């Protein structure tokens, strides 16, 4: 077996990143994007980042030869094949356990849309293997620090704490506190956790085992994906029952704004864009709009305001609110294109809208990275009606492609968008439109509907803020996260 060679560079830190997904191999949302960007970004700062992932079929297919293979006979009752190799410039450790990970489709959900019944064991094994790597299980590499992401990697710090060996510090990244990884207490033994971990409160959360709770309690540093979200999750309203812990650990909690890979999101070189364009090229954007409208059966009306939504279709994302508001919008010569998948009842609502308003609404009810890129190159504005939003990446994608973000004033949306009020417009700093946090559908038209309609030019044609968005300095690149 050939030895895997590392790129020549001055390494200042060896970092192990642990996650349940990673773009471009498998992705359900912004978590995958961020985890996928980190190795390149951190590498620019001399940080050798290696990522531990579950052995999903798509990940195994992406892994190139040669591979270094390590057999581990018993990890929580499962035989593990740990595969080390490279995939698209990323150094990976793949936890290959076919019984746990060789499943099609969404990594977390069964075909019926419900979480896999054994998700606790699936991600406990991932965390356990990551902890073993952290304590020196590999003969030729040991990390100086560990970066764990969301509940799927939430037990890494706990496993390390109760190991009888020197362990590296752990920084845990909170991408979305709403997903906590809760499992019955009687799984303590199956997860290989000592009773002390429960009795001390390290993993206990209202009578259950909480993967996210464990990470917040035990990790050395906590990172949220935006400064405002770091503040919001310390409140009872947004803390999902964990606000007390977060307030008690506020001294180790930092909000660091997410960013995007500007090479991946570049309308001038993006193969998904019909007519590539540079900043300020509105003619190409209008051409993309016409082609998009034709491709999906919408009238090729340049006067119509074309709205787009690329998102998980869930209540958190406010997709139900948009579905309820849509008929009012359609009275205003507005078209809507929706790309995404999510809750069945919300998807059904959009499908019904498309049937009732075929000249105003088009829906693509499945995940498509290509179509997500294409939509941003064509729509006049992107609607982001989230009830809460840890950071959000859609607003960055929209600004990068010249689509005006119309968003709720929550979380990272507040940190990244400057509302187009008269003062901001005069100063030339506006890069979007913000409306108050949405609560209920009946209140959504007064708070958001009028702001959406205000995007249109006085003549009623198109959108009045495209160029300011494309030239906005507020599109952060994917950035590094401190772990010291």
Dist CA 287 CA 320 (whole Å): 31
Dist CA 34 CA 40 (whole Å): 11
Q: Show Cβ contacts of residue 228 under 8 Å, excluding neighbours closer than 6 positions.
A: 255, 410, 411, 412, 414, 415
Helical residues (DSSP H) of 135-224, grouped into ranges: 156-161, 195-199, 211-218
**What is the phi-psi region of residue 260: left when phi exceeds 0, alpha when psi lies from -120 to 50, beta otherwise?**
beta
Q: Is the dihedral of CA 29, 400, 238, 151 positive or negative?
A: positive
The kind and range of the H/E element at 22 are none
Dist CA 42 CA 50 (whole Å): 11
Judge contact between 393 and 399, C-beta under 8 A: no
Dist CA 173 CA 313 (whole Å): 24
Cross-strand partners of 433: 406
Dist CA 330 CA 321 (whole Å): 15
Work out whether strand 361-364 and strand 334-339 pair parallel, antiparallel, or are unpaired.
Answer: parallel
Judge contact between 134 and 146, C-beta under 8 A: yes
Dist CA 171 CA 146 (whole Å): 6
Cross-strand partners of 149: 173
Q: Look at residue 453 and give its three-state secondary structure.
A: helix
- The answer to whether the annotation marks 68 as part of a ligand binding site is no
Q: Look at residue 139 and give its three-state secondary structure.
A: coil
Judge contact between 68 and 1, C-beta under 8 A: yes
Q: In the structure encoding, which two tokens stand for residue 13, read together?
A: 């830190």
Binding-site residue set for ADP-alpha-D-glucose = 27
Binding-site residues, in ranges, read: 27
């Amino acid at each position: 077996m050939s030895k895997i060679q590392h790129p020549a560079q001055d390494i200042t830190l060896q970092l192990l990143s642990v996650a349940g997904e990673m773009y471009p191999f498998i992705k359900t949302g912004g978590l995958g994007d961020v985890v996928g960007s980190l190795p390149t970004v951190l590498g620019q700062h001399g940080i050798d980042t290696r990522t531990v992932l579950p052995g999903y079929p798509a990940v195994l297919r992406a892994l190139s030869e040669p591979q270094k293979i390590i057999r581990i006979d018993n990890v929580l009752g499962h035989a593990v094949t740990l595969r080390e190799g490279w995939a698209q410039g990323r150094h990976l450790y793949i936890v290959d356990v076919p019984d746990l990970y060789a499943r099609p489709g969404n990594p977390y959900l069964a075909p019926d849309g419900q979480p896999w019944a054994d998700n606790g064991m699936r991600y406990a094994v991932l965390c356990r293997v990551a902890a073993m790597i952290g304590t020196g299980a590999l003969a030729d590499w040991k990390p100086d620090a560990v970066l764990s992401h969301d509940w799927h990697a939430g037990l890494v710090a706990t496993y390390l704490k109760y190991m009888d060996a020197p362990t590296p510090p752990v920084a845990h990244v909170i991408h979305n506190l709403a997903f906590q990884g809760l499992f019955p207490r009687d799984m303590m033994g199956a997860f290989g956790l000592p009773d002390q971990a429960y009795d001390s409160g390290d993993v206990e959360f209202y009578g259950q085992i909480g993967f996210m709770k464990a990470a917040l309690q035990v990790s050395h540093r906590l990172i949220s994906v935006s400064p405002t979200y770091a503040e919001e999750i310390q409140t009872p309203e947004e803390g999902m029952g964990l606000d007390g812990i977060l307030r008690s650990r506020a001294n180790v909690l930092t909000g660091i704004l997410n960013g995007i890979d500007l090479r991946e999101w570049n309308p001038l070189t993006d193969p998904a864009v019909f007519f590539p364009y540079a900043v300020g090229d509105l003619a190409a954007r209008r051409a993309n709009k016409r082609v998009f409208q034709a491709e999906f059966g919408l009238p090729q009306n340049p006067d119509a305001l074309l709205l787009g939504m690329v998102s998980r279709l869930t209540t958190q994302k406010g997709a139900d609110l948009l579905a309820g508001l849509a008929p009012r919008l359609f009275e205003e010569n507005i078209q809507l294109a929706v790309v995404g998948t999510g809750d069945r009842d919300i998807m059904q609502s959009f499908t019904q809208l498309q049937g009732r308003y075929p000249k105003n609404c088009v829906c693509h009810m499945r995940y498509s990275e290509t179509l997500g890129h294409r939509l941003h190159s064509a729509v006049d504005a992107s609607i982001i009606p989230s009830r809460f939003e840890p950071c959000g990446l859609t607003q960055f994608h929209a600004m990068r492609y010249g689509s005006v973000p119309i968003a709720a004033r929550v979380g990272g949306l507040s940190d990244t968008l400057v509302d187009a009020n008269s003062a901001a417009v005069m100063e030339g700093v506006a890069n979007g439109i913000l409306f108050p946090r949405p609560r209920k559908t009946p209140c959504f038209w007064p708070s958001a509907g009028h702001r959406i309609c205000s995007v249109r030019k006085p003549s009623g044609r198109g959108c009045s803020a495209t160029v300011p968005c494309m030239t906005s300095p507020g599109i952060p690149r994917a950035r590094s996260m401190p772990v010291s």
